[in-house]
Amino acid sequence: MSTAHLSLNDKNFEFPTFAGTEHELAIDCGKLRGSTGAVTYDPGYGNTGSCKSAITFIDGEKGILRYRGYPIEDLVGNVKFTQVAYLLIHGELPTTTEFDVWRNELTQHSLVHESMLNFFDHFPVTAHPMNILASMISSMSSFYPQDGEDEDKLNLNIMRLVGQVKTLAAFSYKKSVGQPVVYPRTDLSYSANFLRMMFGLPTEEYEVSPVIEKALDALLILHADHEQNCSTSTVRMVGSSRANLYASISAGVNALWGPLHGGANQAVLEMLEMIQADGGNYKKYVEKAKDKDDDFRLMGFGHRVYKNFDPRAKILCTAAEEVLNELGVSDPLLDIAKNLEEIALSDPFFVERKLYPNVDFYSGIIYRALGIPTEMFTVLFSIGRMPGWIAHWLEMRSDPDGRIHRPRQIYIGETERRLNV
């Protein structure tokens, strides 16, 4: 592989380069500061590769997303979320036997420790479900401690996290509306169990709609991983200190809570509702978005990585239509969304800036059609992202080049000064 050349202060330096399996070129700057005394300045780390990873590949220019080599278009609709979870965590799709064991283990470990139920009673009614979820996951390390490098206990804790996150999420919702919790059942799928725990009651049978179950499973798969995003990088950073799995994942939940990350689909829905309340005049808001002197921004357009149509958005666009048609739901917000999408794909302002609809643009509409409350949108994102976070934590933990994360800074404060005494 060729080398990269740097000229600095009349001195020349060489740094090795290498490429990933998809030919993405990287410059190894590991000895930059030691060799030159300089550091890179890269706000938001948009040009910095923080690790080598074999989990997810994204080509933002071509709109490609693959989990462990499998295109996202092949996975959605053909395998279940729990199979994708196994793929991300273990590296391969499970055989029939492996999947039966995996599914059974997840079901058996979906019951939370009974003492944890007391915690829900002491959160204020106004507590956000993401706050509750992060707190409950953090508390799991008290109930299920991991002793050192015990792999069996680690695997058990992984199954507990994947199995219980949906239970904790559903329980937090039940507590917020003053309803009794509904325990999971062993005969239902992962998505069906969540829906039943969310919307069912102990006093009556709850029939899970196959259409809704399928749609939720697709949403969870689409959210399962997305390379080194803010929350995943947070999980890796916290884990680099050798913090336990629960502490690291809890930190990821808090990172996802931010409106620029997991909360973006809620912002999209609120924007669509605002346009609807203004007579559905979407063209007015398109012009506002194009006006550089106007603070208004169209939510759900553009992506930090994708400079093409987000492949997840393509899938969800079709899924949104199918769900609304199957359920007989007529949602004017979807019509507004379609009109905005059409403009984004043809208007030179959006095309030149590559502001295509992203995954958040449609996910909120589907959640709304499924009856998921707005404050639970980001919680659903967390459930889907759980296997990805775990996979990255495991990969970080076994990385031979791994070190505790410690970024540098460029100090711009006062130079040395003394007290006048």
CATH code: domain of residue 219 = 1.10.580.10
Residues with catalytic function:
303, 360
pLDDT of residue 414: 96
pLDDT of residue 280: 94
**Rounded CA separation 132/234 (Å):** 19
Is the Cα dihedral 211, 179, 163, 188 positive or negative? negative
What is the DSSP code string of 148-204?
TT-HHHHHHHHHHHHHHHHHHHHHHHHHHTTPPP----TTS-HHHHHHHHHH--TTS
Does 419 reside within a domain?
Answer: no
pLDDT of residue 148: 66
* 245 lies in the same domain as 349: yes
pLDDT of residue 362: 85
Does 342 reside within a domain?
Answer: yes
Strand partners, 57: 66
pLDDT of residue 222: 96
* 157 lies in the same domain as 300: yes
pLDDT of residue 146: 72
| Encoded amino acid at 151, one letter | E
Is the Cα dihedral 384, 386, 389, 390 positive or negative? negative
Per-residue pLDDT of the chain in tens (421 residues, 90 and over written 9) = 689 999 999 999 999 999 999 988 999 999 999 999 999 999 999 899 999 999 999 998 898 999 999 999 999 999 999 999 999 999 999 999 999 999 999 999 999 999 999 999 899 888 899 999 999 999 999 999 876 678 889 999 999 999 999 999 999 999 888 899 999 999 999 999 999 999 999 999 999 988 889 999 999 999 999 999 999 999 999 999 999 999 999 999 999 998 888 888 888 889 999 999 999 999 999 999 999 999 998 898 888 788 777 899 889 888 888 888 888 877 888 889 889 988 888 899 988 888 888 888 888 888 888 889 888 999 999 999 999 999 999 999 999 989 999 999 999 999 999 998 8
* 48 lies in the same domain as 84: no
The residue to which tokens 């329980």 are assigned: 171
Which contiguous run of DSSP H or E holds residue 25?
strand 25-27
Does 343 reside within a domain?
Answer: yes
Residue 88: name the closest of 117, 66, 111 by CA.
Answer: 66
Domain count, the chain: 2
* 52 lies in the same domain as 99: no
Enclosing domain of residue 184: 67-402
**CA gyration radius for the chain?**
23
* 75 lies in the same domain as 61: no
Does 421 reside within a domain?
Answer: no
pLDDT of residue 147: 63
* 225 lies in the same domain as 363: yes
pLDDT of residue 97: 98
Helix (H, G, I), strand (E, B) or coil at 59: strand
**Cβ neighbours for 270, distance < 8 A, ≥ 6 positions apart:** 299, 374
Helix (H, G, I), strand (E, B) or coil at 252: helix
Q: Contact at 8 Å (CB) between 267 and 412?
A: no
**Rounded CA separation 14/23 (Å):** 21
Does 87 reside within a domain?
Answer: yes
* 124 lies in the same domain as 101: yes
Cα→Cα distances 208→23, 197, 198, Å: 45, 10, 11
What is the DSSP code string of 75-101?
HBTTB-HHHHHHHHHHSSPPPHHHHHH
The structure tokens listed for 382 are 């967390």
Eight-class DSSP state of 40: -
* 232 lies in the same domain as 325: yes
Does 413 reside within a domain?
Answer: no
Does 354 reside within a domain?
Answer: yes
- Of 65, 83, 118, which one is at a domain's C-terminal end? 65
pLDDT of residue 81: 98
Neighbour count for residue 54 (Cβ, 10 Å): 12
Helix (H, G, I), strand (E, B) or coil at 129: helix
- Of 18, 45, 65, which one is at a domain's C-terminal end? 65
Residue 11 sits in a domain of what CATH number?
2.20.28
* 13 lies in the same domain as 23: yes
Q: Within its chain, how far is the Cα of 46 from the centroid?
A: 18
* 158 lies in the same domain as 260: yes
**Cβ neighbours for 95, distance < 8 A, ≥ 6 positions apart:** none
**Rounded CA separation 88/102 (Å):** 13
Eight-class DSSP state of 357: B
Does 110 reside within a domain?
Answer: yes
Strand partners, 25: 19
* 278 lies in the same domain as 339: yes
**Rounded CA separation 7/15 (Å):** 11
* 60 lies in the same domain as 77: no
